[in-house]
Amino acid sequence: MADEPKGLNKPVKLKADLAAFLGAESLPRTEITKKLWDYIKGQGLQTKTENGAAMNAGKYIVTDSKLLPIFKNTKSTSKSGSLTDLTGIQVGQTINMMQMAAVVGANVE
């Protein structure tokens, strides 16, 4: 009998917006992050400047209409106390790639 997956490899239940986007009810966090990055890179949604135009390179992710509902679910405080509040984000605005962990965390149960 195989060991149960643990930690980041353990499947987690996805909230509705992320489940609809990824076409799955549950996935491991590693797979969620990979699929989000595959989409971002596939759509050329990275930029080097905050709220810059998409140029497929850089540390900022440009919000498009498909990512918007997922990003808008994000309002969390990290262990270090910094708040990630994307509830007011709009299409064309950016998030820092370092906020992706907060986005994933806010969209799983």
The domain over range 10-106 is classified in CATH as 3.40.50.620: no
Half-sphere exposure of 80 (CA within 13 A, CB side): 3
Output the six-digit token pair for 36: 């989000």
pLDDT at 3: 66
What are the structural domain ranges in the chain? 10-106
pLDDT in tens, the chain (109 residues): 556 778 778 999 999 999 999 999 999 999 999 999 999 999 999 999 999 888 878 899 999 999 999 999 999 888 889 899 999 999 999 999 999 999 999 999 9
Q: 94-107: per-residue pLDDT in tens?
A: 999 999 999 999 99
Strands 46-47 and 26-28: unpaired
